[in-house]
Chain A
């Protein structure tokens, strides 16, 4: 007798929807998870906003492009000559000269015929935040807000690429180690130990000394290093637990081949844990990129780490908070996005680990 196939399909759709709603409800119970999700969403919007603004013409690329944009910001400043001895009637200490709105004559060595007491148009780079540039411009006249958005794109691409690669590798290796045991297991565990021992950042320094690392290269390297490391051990232990469950025995009794059992029975049950790892490893990837860029070791056009690198090489990093828009937005972005992913991971933990649920 045939069955009503449409009824079956409809039920299937309905069940999927209900399961999704239930998982969402579980996730939304976790305050940390929701905060994390909020943060990640904000940055995602930023990442997508930039091409949108360019595409619709709201922003002109000439001015707002994060790498090649340029905006002239001019301020008329009074030309002064700073005295050699202090205090004087106008200035208390030597740090007060030149003051705001003032510029020293000797700094204008390229200008002709400018005398003390004149007003001179100075190009302000880096320019503080204004209506035109929400976060100001950097020393090359590029809009900082646009750079943040560009950095966001970089962070997402890098994070997700390296995380996916890493998790893919570690899940495969962990499951193979658990399933086949013996020499394969021993080899994989020793390999994992070795990779665990390697300090990631110094290794990255060495690699970047030999090869010019672009963002894609970095993603692959981070992915491989992450994939071969400690997560293999954790996934293997999870796979071992799954391997002894009765439904795996049942598959063996039915006549399934070891390979088929590994892929269709064990792997899907290990996947939730792997997904969790993935989210956490994005955090590491973003942080690693920032450090490398900050040290000038990466060959990329723009990223948050690079922004801080540039502000350091230009000497603004130690001028306290006077040029805060060159340092704080980039630094905070790294912290927040990396932290945001971590919090999402914590929230997902609640969904995947029912024993941790409070009710």
Chain B
């Protein structure tokens, strides 16, 4: 029985703005086991990137965690001081950002930038040790050693992304968050990078949180997944289960709105309107205004809460009633 590397329990986070509090993360609860790949899927504004930045405690100044806990390998990280957090970041948990290819400093060589990250956490290691470590990492992600002496602009998009993965692995974290790492890449390169990530994960026994709006990628990359809408998780469970029998109206819609190149060409569904404003969000089901599947058993007034419908498979209680 493998242990939980990450346990998020009732996490609530909001941003304080001039117009009010933007309730970005509401009662988010999930856990990731050792070696597991966990997917977080949702559209723009659903809160998935907020969750990512909160897990690393890297949010902007006006972000406030009002309640909840994040346990990394049993250790609580909400409420730690900045110094303590610096120990945790990159050492235990790291991240591959969206658009990470552009996160490289253009005037510093790649190798030097990765060494800098390692030095932050292991100042006692020598340059030789670090260089060897980077060489190992590069082998894992499929880059040549010579890349260490190159500047970012000399590399292609795919190579830069592999280097970013190497950077994320540089301090041997236990869990890596990948926030839409391949969105800007061509589909052929995306395929290569995704294979790379899978290989790395198996090789190092890493846990992975994969964040994307593309359910096809989530289908291929993850063991378990959560669907987010307007800051809350609406469905949670094993990936295969959710794809074969989705329970939440939004999940069903996501699955039925993605065109595919295989299978029969069928009529796809779509939503109207846009996601609700998260400012001073009220109680009740946040999806109700746009829900196309309103049945008689639905009660949109019910506060959102995950309810187990089968082993490991949770749905927000508004939709669980029809299940």
Contacts and interface: CB of A to CB of B under 8 A. Distances in A.
Q: Within 8 Å by CB, do A and B touch in the complex?
A: yes
B62 interface: yes
B18 interface: yes
Contacts of A359: 17-18, 62
Nearest to B62: A359
How big is the A interface, by class?
A: under 10
Contacts of B18: 29, 359
B23 to A, nearest CB: 16
Interface in A10-44: 29
Contacts of B17: 359
Contacts of A29: 18
A138 to B, nearest CB: 49
Nearest to B15: A359
Interface string B1-42: 000000000000000011000000000000000000000000
Interface string A326-359: 0000000000000000000000000000000001
A359 B62 CA distance: 8
A19 to B, nearest CB: 15
B245 to A, nearest CB: 43
A25 to B, nearest CB: 8
A29 B18 CA distance: 10
Contacts of B62: 359
Nearest to B60: A359
A298 to B, nearest CB: 46
A29 B62 CA distance: 17
Interface string A217-258: 000000000000000000000000000000000000000000
A29 B19 CA distance: 12
A350 B17 CA distance: 16
A229 B17 CA distance: 40
A29 B17 CA distance: 13
A103 B97 CA distance: 84
B106 to A, nearest CB: 21
A359 B19 CA distance: 9
A76 B18 CA distance: 64
Interface in B223-274: none
B229 to A, nearest CB: 24
B18 to A, nearest CB: 5
A359 B18 CA distance: 7
A18 to B, nearest CB: 13
A61 B62 CA distance: 59
A322 B235 CA distance: 82
Interface in B41-92: 62
A359 B17 CA distance: 6
A30 to B, nearest CB: 12
A68 to B, nearest CB: 53
B50 to A, nearest CB: 16
A352 B256 CA distance: 42
A305 B32 CA distance: 74
Nearest to A29: B18
B224 to A, nearest CB: 36
Nearest to B17: A359
A292 to B, nearest CB: 44
A275 B208 CA distance: 51
A28 to B, nearest CB: 11
A359 B279 CA distance: 14
Interface in A256-276: none
Interface string B298-318: 000000000000000000000
B34 to A, nearest CB: 40
A338 to B, nearest CB: 31
A239 B10 CA distance: 50
B19 to A, nearest CB: 8
Interface in A305-323: none
A111 to B, nearest CB: 72
A233 B57 CA distance: 43
A359 B20 CA distance: 11
Nearest to A357: B18
Interface in A30-63: none
A88 to B, nearest CB: 72
A358 to B, nearest CB: 9
B17 to A, nearest CB: 5
A351 to B, nearest CB: 14
A357 to B, nearest CB: 9
A305 B173 CA distance: 69
Nearest to A25: B18
Nearest to B61: A358
A341 to B, nearest CB: 26
Nearest to B18: A359
A169 B321 CA distance: 68
A359 B60 CA distance: 10
A316 to B, nearest CB: 51
A326 to B, nearest CB: 47
Interface string B111-130: 00000000000000000000
B44 to A, nearest CB: 18
4 contacts: A29-B18, A359-B17, A359-B18, A359-B62
Q: What 4 A-B pairs come out closest when comparing CB atoms?
A: A359-B17, A359-B18, A359-B62, A29-B18
Interface of B: 17-18, 62
Interface of A: 29, 359
